[in-house]
Amino acid sequence: MSGLQIHGLRVAFGRNELLKGIDLSVAPGETLVLFGPSGCGKTVLLRAIAGVEPAARANVQIGGRDVSALGPEARGLGMAFQNFALYPHMTARENIASPLQARGVAAAEIEARVAEVAALLRITHVLGHAPKELSNGQKQRTALARALVGKPPVLLLDDPLRNVDAKLRYEMRMELPRLLRAAGAATIYVSQDYREAMGLGDRVAILLDGRIAQMAPPEAIYDAPASVKVARLFGDPPINLLACRPTAGKAGVEVAAAGWQFSLPVDRSAAGRNCLLGLRPEAVALFATQQSGAAPAQIIATTPLHERLVVLLRAAGGEEVVASVLGSVPQAGSTVWLAADAAQALLFDAESGSRIPAAPATLEHAA
């Protein structure tokens, strides 16, 4: 097996177990984005893979070779740190050359390969500078160049775009897919930004409470989150969650919340239980006049978000509903009619938080 495999990775600091048994594998050329709230252990997981986290117990295989007992220098991976971690007393060129130097590559070849990766990252003109003379964007590119230059089979990128401003972040986000494809490494990319996760990840692993709560292609996580927690984390503005108690219906359950009535084709076991109806803000539409199936609500505030408008509303029953719409919106205080796209509605068990799966009948139809 090539690529990266991890089995039963655990990290405990004293009695506090931060990671409680992580299994994952990344294929060569694949990018797995590790996503989770701050403090969930994403960075610690990367460090454990790199072999610089003394508290970690794990079975780590790189390119089919068990490296669990090896020090970080013998694992053959490249890593970019969130704080860049450049060597302050060396020039950018010496920083980038470090992995090649460690392997005793000939000086002429080091020169050529540093020049190549620097050109790729567009930092050729600052190779002679010390880190303190570099802008944040250049530091971040130098750190990436250092991780890439040795063509390692595994790349660990710890939120490398976190500390650069929006413009540089986007520039790099546009370039990264191409760079990573060219590198061909099994890549783990840590991010706190769900859009970045969706944009860069072939798959996304959601790390929550020390475990992987869901691991799937990004769209699958967005469209069918495994739990309320995952749904809330993955999306901005966050998903609307409305308390409801579904009743059994013809092809699933009937749900009433915030003045809406839906038939949802989900497992009927949800009937009679306390549930949460999940509706992404972009699945809520605003109308100035009454529509069939629409419910009245009052606009509290409108806040622009990129090209969309995020509208905070109060439904007739007092529930707060967030809608994300294109176009214009009446001013605060106005009453509007809210329609929700039932096809995008999700139902979660209020107690366990897990998503109610599709009704078995639907599966039969599919078969």
Partner 1 sequence: MTLTLSNLSKTYPGRHGGSVQAVRNLNLTMEKGEIVALLGSSGCGKTSTLRMIAGFESVSEGGITLAGRRIETLTPDRRRVAMAFEGYALYPPLTIEENIGFGLATRGLDRAEAARRVREMAEMLEIGPILKGRPAGLSGGQQQRASLARALARDADLHLLDEPMGQLEPQLRSVLRGRVKAALKSRGLTAVLVTHDQTEANAMADRIAVMEAGVLQQYGPPSELRDRPANLLVATFLGEPPMNALAATVDPAGLHLDDVAEDVLALPGVPMPRAGAKIVLGVRPHRLQLGAGALRGQVISNQWLGDQAHVVLALGPRILVAVAHRRVAVRVGETIPFGFAPDHAHLFDADSGRALAHGMVAA
Partner 2 sequence: MPRISAILRGIALAAVLLFFLFPIFWIFLMSFQTNETILQIPPSLAFEPTLINYTSLISGHLQTAAGSLDLPFMHNLFNSVLLSAVSVAVSLVLGVPAAYAFARFRFRLGEDIAFTLLSFRFAPPLLVLLPLSLYFKDLGLANTYAGIIWVYQLICLPLILWIVRGYFEDASPDVEYAYRIDGHSWWRAFTRIAIPLAGPGIAAAGLLAFIFAWNNFVFALILASADKQPVTVGALAFVTASGIQYGQIAAAIVLSILPTLALALYAQRWLVEGLSLGAVKG
Report the alpha-carbon distance of residue 73 to residue 70 in Å, rounded: 8
Sign of CA dihedral 204, 209, 212, 213: negative
| Residue 195 contacts partner 1 per CB under 8 A | yes
Q: Which is nearer to partner 2, 103 or 181 (CB)?
A: 103
Site string for partner 1, 158-177 (x = CB under 8 A): -------xxx--xx--xx-x
Q: How far is the CB of 268 from partner 1 (least distance, A)?
A: 29
98 binds partner 2 (CB under 8 A): yes
Reduce the secondary structure of 298-337 to three states and give it as a string: EEEEEEEECCEEEEEEEECCCCEEEEEECCCCCCCCCEEE
- Closer by beta carbon to partner 2, 77 or else 275: 77
Q: Which helix (H) or strand (E) holds 175?
A: helix 166-183
How many residues lie near partner 2 (CB under 8 A)?
35
Taking the least distance from each CB to partner 1, the nearer of 60 and 121 is 121
Q: Is 79 in the site for partner 2 (CB under 8 A)?
A: yes
The two tokens of residue 311 are: 């509208």
Question: Among residue numbers 130 through 149, which ones bind partner 2 (CB under 8 A)?
Answer: 130-132, 136, 139, 146
| Strand ranges, E, within 153-273 | 154-158, 186-191, 203-208, 211-216, 240-244, 247-248, 253-257, 260-264
Is residue 139 at the binding interface for partner 1, with CB under 8 A as the rule? no
How buried is residue 254: exposed, middle or buried, by Cβ count under 10 Å (0-12/13-18/19+)? middle
Least distance (Å) from partner 2 to the CB of residue 107? 16
For the bound state, the minimum distance from the C-beta of residue 152 to partner 2, rounded and expressed in Å, comes to 9
Quick one: tokens of 202?
């072939």
What span, in angstroms and rounded, lies between the C-alpha atoms of 145 and 185?
A: 14
47 touches partner 2 by CB under 8 A:
yes
Among 16, 39, 89, 304, binds partner 2 (CB under 8 A): 89
Q: What is the contact surface with partner 2 in residues (CB under 8 A)?
A: 47, 50-52, 54, 71-79, 81, 83-89, 98-99, 101-103, 130-132, 136, 139, 146, 150, 163
